[in-house]
Amino acid sequence: MAKEKPDLLQGTLDLLVLKALQLEPMHGFGISVRIRQMSDEVLQVEQGSLYPALYRLEEQGWIKAEWGVSDNNRKARFYQLTAAGRKQLNAETENWERISAAINLVLKGT
């Protein structure tokens, strides 16, 4: 996997992760499962992309992590949204809707 992803995709993944964490805190594996479920098996996030995204989001202060115990009694790191993260989620969602609408317009045109 390349170190540099096209900016659009990276931003999108961040958005998905934030969305996945909207309801409750989850560990990495759970987030990838969640995204798969929510996208109806279309979006399969590789761990290679997921964890860098998680660390990046943590760096920027939109999610925070804690060590906890998972269902199978294993130690795992649970991520949850911070207040700033929630605001960022709203902002990015708006942004995404605006951009995708614009792209659709362009594609529909002749």
Partner 1 sequence: MAEEMRGHLEMQTRANLDAGMSPDEARYAAQRQFGGVDQLKEIAREQRGFVWFDQLGQDFRAAVGGLAKSRRFTVFAVAILALGIAVNTALFSVIYGVLLRPYPYARVNEIWVPRLSAVQAGSGVGGLRIGEYLAIVGLPAVAQAMTANPQQATLAGGINPEVVRSVHMSSTAFDFLGVAPVVGRTITPSDYQSNGDPQPVAVLSYKLWQRRFNGDPAAIGQSLTLNDQPHVIIGVMPPRFAWHTGDGLWVPLATKQLQQGTNVLVRLKPGFTSEVAAQQLRALLLEEQRKTPNRFPKEGFRVQLDRYPDVAGASGQVRSSLHLLLFAVGFLLLIACTNVANLQLVRATIRRRELAIRLALGATRARLVRQLLGESMALSLLGGASGALLAGWLTQVIIKLLPPAYVPVEARVELNLPVLAFCAGLSWLTGVVFGLVPAWQSTQVDLNEALKSGGHGFSRGGRTRGGLVIAQVALSSLLLVSAALTIRGFVRSSVFDSGFQPERTLMLRVPLTPNRYRTAAERNTFTRELLERMVRLPGVISVAAGTLPGMEGDVVYAIPGMMIPDGARVTANAMSADYLSTLGLPLRAGRNLTAQEVAFGDPVALINESAAKLWTDGRTPIGRIIQLNVPAPLRPGPQPAATADGKRNVTIVGIVGDIRENGLRTGARPGVFLPYTLRGGTQRLLIVRTEDKPLNLLGLVREELRALAPGQPLDQPVTWEELQAVETAVPRFNMALFTVLALVALGLAGAGIYAVLSYDIAQRTRELGVRIALGAARTDIARLVLVSGARLVACGLALGLAMCFPLAGLARNRMTGLGALEPAMVIAAALVLAATALAACWLPARRATKVDPMEALRSE
27 interacts with partner 1 by CB under 8 A: yes
55 interacts with partner 1 by CB under 8 A: yes
63-69 and 75-81 beta bridge pairing: antiparallel
108 interacts with partner 1 by CB under 8 A: no
Nearer to partner 1, 47 or 93 (CB): 47
Residue 62, SS3? coil
Considering CB under 8 A, how many residues would be counted as binding partner 1?
20
73 interacts with partner 1 by CB under 8 A: no
Q: Whose CA is closest to 23, among 79, 72, 71?
A: 79
Minimum distance between the CB of residue 54 and partner 1, rounded to whole angstroms? 9
- Which stretches does DSSP call E strand in the chain? 26-27, 63-69, 75-81
70 interacts with partner 1 by CB under 8 A: yes
